Structure 1
Amino acid sequence: MKKYYTAESVTEGHPDKLCDIIADSVLDECLAYDPASRVACEVLATRGRITVAGEITSRHIPRVPEIVERVLKDIGYSTGGRMLDVLLHRQSPDIAAGVNTPLEERNGQSLGTQLGAGDQGVMVGYACDETPEKMPLAVMMAHRITHGLTMARKTGQIPELLPDGKAQVTVEYENGRPERLDTVVLSAQHRDDVRPAELEQALREKVLIPALRALPPDEDTRILINPSGRFVLGGPDADTGLTGRKLMVDSYGPFAPHGGGAFSGKDATKVDRSGAYMARYIARNIVAASLASRCQVTLAYAIGVTQPVMVEVDTFGTGTVCADDCLAMATRYVFELTPAGIIHALKLTRPIFAKTACCGHFGRADFPWEQEDRIKALQDAVL
């Protein structure tokens, strides 16, 4: 049975990603000086103006103008001619109370250093055995294209490129496995004086061929490069950017549902971020332990409560040892699912988040939620 799945990725210069990077850079600076910082930072970027807003409770006051200027410069945008609005205030005392004094403690259960969830919500993690990264192949290839596009620009391999860009990859699946590359779309911002045919040839040779090695194009693969014909004006000058508007790019594309909570700009007491990282950690270890070839883990939390109100595992019929409800029970046994436990297990008080903001939060070995270090514990729990 044939199916087609399409995954998307965008470069760091895309206006939405620019906002995500600024928000996570604000978070990182707060954590670098105060690991207990509570941050919920949102960014909007449009022509000539950037707005940074949200709630921050920290012993450090982030130097937002310096952060914004540094991010713009690092990405490759001009730092002049832009107005900056900074609209930050402290976290709501009601939310802070629910996090600091969770429901269980208010009901007389002594929890010591436990934290309540910073919000309600549903978080989804996914893993599969299609790639060494335990990610869907289409997703990984889309991210490799945009990463290659950025590297070709920054290293001078293709000097005509500008920071904005996006990629889309459609893969044909046969009986649940990737069989052939159907369509590739690449849109790359460029200088006004570029020769389109020369740019297209450079993009094919220096970006697409390396990025698509895992499933090379065949004679029927459609490759569309700058299908609009011209892409000179880009970034926030062309399109308003906003944090949290690339949820499926950040996660698993069409291969798994999304709980709805954005990641960037939030500290780890916000379980829509930390819970999604934990769900991915669990799913990857289940697949790495050969307990399933595909796995989706869903967690749900209530604000001010320590334990998740739901833990669900779905292996889509690929489980090898026990049923999905058995894996869900093993998950509760092997993994610490309270907010404090997640923060401790994944070391989420470190300033590591600006690196997550572009090319996906999952499938990159340098993040702690990608470690396959619970394989034996899971196997022991179910065997």
Structure 2
Amino acid sequence: MADTWLFTSESVSEGHPDKVCDRISDTILDAYLREAPDSRVAVEALATTNHVTVAGEVRGPDSVLRSVEELVREAIRDIGYSQLGFDWKDVEIVNRLHAQSGDIAQGVDEGDKGEEGAGDQGIMFGYACRETDELMPAPIQFAHRILRLMAEDRKAGRRPEFGPDAKSQVTLKYEGGKPVGIDAVVVSTQHDEDVTQERVRELVEGYLAAALPEGWQVPADRLLVNPTGRFVLGGPEGDAGLTGRKIIVDTYGGAAPHGGGAFSGKDPTKVDRSAAYAARYLAKNVVAAGLAERCQIQLAYAIGVPEPVAVYVETFGTGKVGEAELGSKLREMVRLTPRGIRERLDLLNPIYARTAAYGHFGRAAQEDGGFAWERTDLAADLAREFGHSVAAE
């Protein structure tokens, strides 16, 4: 790899059409888990002008199925859509949810050795590095931060000029494997019709100052704000959305591989979601323990089989212990079956709607179990096992 390079990641706001669908899917999932934690849920959504279709497979209380329309409207209202072509009050909602396949349920519920099997085959990746305090790649973390700050002010009424739909893109300069500065930033945000391009840029500049490290200035000619010159029509009114189309935004911004499975709308028997969380948890604890500067974990599963068929650890030449030895120890310390992951990370709680925007990783672990995969409670034991002191986060 060259000693210097540029790397770019993007984020999108909760009002982006695809993220609207992710939020709807996870809101319905939370409703099922709140009523019955053993529910099986795989919900997809499509959103377009004045229309939402919800489809997928569920097994859980009929009361939730009857409340889908109310749940969808509440999610859209909370995001902030009340515009002519997409209004939470009168958007058309079509519910096409149906019962889970018996063939899938059989493998998941029974599995082998008396334990639940994985809900599908697939590969999942987790990643952590020392580029930020959150042990996340810096470009995606900064891109999320810009939009999250803008959304907080919009929803609090401090920036009524902004609409819900927005995107950001951050390009960083790297030297010797570490980010050293900003090369370019792109921000596009929906805005009121009477707000000038100059005013939008002025407001965005304030959020960049708050979101980026002190002293990291964006060159004036490398800051692009609403490059088309106008962004009034946004959200599903302007572009259709689908659940699960922003999987790179959801994870590491392209800095690590992705297994291809989306997260939103899936209950934690689906290893697309739960095992990706477990892989992040393991990778983050390896880095927090001081055992590597960068760590990538790959897990692989077969449908109906509880244990992963493979666990692979990569530390990119930064590891202080052997990768095979580290992988074996991680498997000893954490049971990587779907049930083991759920129990370790409290994944049966209704915690998922909050994950639907601004990334599933690099967030603070919460008391109710939200973002539990961000905990570093394994780090001390890992460091002790391999004779290293825990690195300061």
Q: Same fold by TM (over 0.5)? A: yes
Tell me how far apart the structure 2 counterparts of residues 194 and 376 of structure 1 sit (CA, whole Å): 52
Q: Which residue of 1 aligns with 2:390?
A: none
Identity of aligned residues (%): 51
Q: Compute the displacement of 1:215 (Å).
A: 6.0
Instruction: Give the alignment partner of residue 377 of structure 2, picking from 369, 373, 376.
Output: 373
Q: Is the 8 A contact 1:125 1:280 kept in 2?
A: yes
1:215-262 per-residue CA deviation (whole Å, 9 max, x = no partner) reads: 621547711110111001000000000000000000001210100000
Q: Secondary structure of the equivalent of 1:255? A: coil
Tell me how far apart the structure 2 counterparts of residues 291 and 355 of structure 1 sit (CA, whole Å): 31
Q: Secondary structure of the equivalent of 1:253? A: coil
Q: Compute the displacement of 1:166 (Å).
A: 0.5
Q: Taking structure 2 as the reference length, what is the TM-score of the superposition?
A: 0.93
Change (3 A) 1:29 1:218: closer
**1:71 is aligned to 2:68:** no
1:259-298 per-residue CA deviation (whole Å, 9 max, x = no partner) reads: 0000000000000100000000000000000000000000
Q: Secondary structure of the equivalent of 1:278? A: helix
- Counterpart amino acid of residue 210 in structure 2: P
- Pairwise mapping of residues 188-227 of structure 1 onto structure 2 (< 5 A)? 188-205=189-206, 207-213=207-213, 216-219=216-219, 222-227=222-227
Q: Which residue of 1 aligns with 2:153?
A: 152
Q: Which residue of 2 aligns with 1:265?
A: 265
Q: Which residue of 1 aligns with 2:348?
A: 349
Tell me how far apart the structure 2 counterparts of residues 278 and 22 of structure 1 sit (CA, whole Å): 24
Change (3 A) 1:215 1:97: farther
Q: Secondary structure of the equivalent of 2:181? A: strand
Change (3 A) 1:136 1:215: farther
- Pairwise mapping of residues 300-311 of structure 1 onto structure 2 (< 5 A)? 300-311=300-311
Instruction: Give the alignment partner of residue 91 of structure 1, picking from 100, 113, 118.
Output: 100
Change (3 A) 1:214 1:299: farther
Change (3 A) 1:350 1:214: farther
- Pairwise mapping of residues 129-208 of structure 1 onto structure 2 (< 5 A)? 129-205=130-206, 207-208=207-208
Q: Taking structure 1 as the reference length, what is the TM-score of the superposition?
A: 0.95
Q: Is the 8 A contact 1:19 1:241 kept in 2?
A: yes
Q: Secondary structure of the equivalent of 2:168? A: strand
Q: Is the 8 A contact 2:26 2:352 kept in 1?
A: yes
Q: Secondary structure of the equivalent of 2:364? A: coil
Q: CA RMSD in A?
A: 1.3
Structure 2 unaligned blocks of 5 or more: 82-86, 366-370, 388-393
Q: Is the 8 A contact 1:293 1:318 kept in 2?
A: yes
Q: Compute the displacement of 1:80 (Å).
A: 3.4
Q: Is the 8 A contact 1:182 1:220 kept in 2?
A: no
Structure 1 unaligned blocks of 5 or more: 106-110
Moved more, 348-357 or 193-202: 193-202
Change (3 A) 1:332 1:138: same
- Counterpart amino acid of residue 137 in structure 1: A
Tell me how far apart the structure 2 counterparts of residues 253 and 336 of structure 1 sit (CA, whole Å): 28
